[in-house]
Structure 1
């Protein structure tokens, strides 16, 4: 059920600038993704990854991506409609981060040969990227001092479109735990694995070693 992946993703929001001082709002009241201060008491079972709490869809498998130093880079959800990845980043209080990051992402994707469509979605602009081997969908939400980004990767365009709707549903119930510590803008919020998953990964590493 739990796999590991060491491949380093090219499309990341990890360049630092100074953080500002007054807050930008996130999703509409009553709708997710939620800041942990406003998380609903809805009884929904969420996977606690430290900075993100995800309601894992039924039947999804987890794939943990590690960096060479041993830290968790990302947790992917493998579903019948594609790979879903949710990441959270430190963001400024005074302005939205996604418009800037999304513009840079489009430039990078075009240089990699993807065909791009930009659409207005539930939380703002969504990006569709069509390539010869993989189809990607990007959706992001700016919250209070954080930005959460969902990425769908699928082998076909119809699957990617289905994955996008699954991602929207996932984000509607996601909780982001930003923390109070100052961080440079665009810094990925740290991912912490539940103890049972961490033990499983450690056992895999020992077997492979």
Structure 2
């Protein structure tokens, strides 16, 4: 559905270990992503530029833009034949991992909402599999230099959930994160900027009549 690279498990050696500031100066070059902008590959892959993230949109996917009450973009979802994929980036500290803390909070929230939870080791460390009678979720997190990337796949059935998870992995592997030099409070969502053509289309849809 997406591309060429396969899972290489390059993160497995770091699971459960302490991370230092030096480890967050950059991600591994020449491997699978997600990529920090300075290490982004010149691979010719067509990516949708959303400002803070650049996403390789799978063929046939539809974009769904989620807005907050103030009219700002909250999230961009990719609607595929196997489920909904969402990738978001957040400001993170220089010297520590953010995903273990965030994943623990998400698990607690899922449990309080009645989801059944599985915690699994994946390509980037711990992943969350959550399901109830209506939806199957897969959540992955990647700690990068001053950013954390979170990917969520949502599918209606267990069979589709497996394929949606694989589609999410491919999406995350080829995503580029543009953190920027500006200071931000930890956990602040990195701003999403829609391409002009998409923003204009949404504006036209919102106009009455």
Q: TM-score range by the shorter chain?
A: 0.7 to 0.9
Normalised to the residue count of structure 1, the TM-score between the two structures is 0.87
For structure 1, the residue ranges without an aligned partner over 5 or more in a row are 1-20
Give matches, 1:1-209, under 5 Å: 22=21, 24-25=23-24, 27-30=27-30, 31-207=32-208
Higher RCO by CA contacts (8 Å cutoff, separation 6 or greater)? 1
SS of 2:69's partner is: coil
On the 8 A contact 2:29/2:39 being kept in 1, the answer is no
On the 8 A contact 2:27/2:145 being kept in 1, the answer is no
On the 8 A contact 1:89/1:185 being kept in 2, the answer is yes
Instruction: Quote how far apart the aligned CAs of 1:140 are.
Output: 1.0
Mark the CA change 1:194 to 1:106 in structure 2 (over 3 Å): closer, same or farther: same
For structure 2, the residue ranges without an aligned partner over 5 or more in a row are 1-19
Inter-partner Cα distance in structure 1 for 2:202 and 2:97: 36
On the 8 A contact 2:135/2:154 being kept in 1, the answer is yes
1:65-95 superposed Cα distances (whole Å, 9 cap, x missing partner): 0011000000000001100000000001101
Paired residue total = 188
Instruction: Quote how far apart the aligned CAs of 1:24 are.
Output: 4.1
Inter-partner Cα distance in structure 2 for 1:194 and 1:188: 18
On the 8 A contact 1:137/1:151 being kept in 2, the answer is yes
On the 8 A contact 1:33/1:174 being kept in 2, the answer is yes
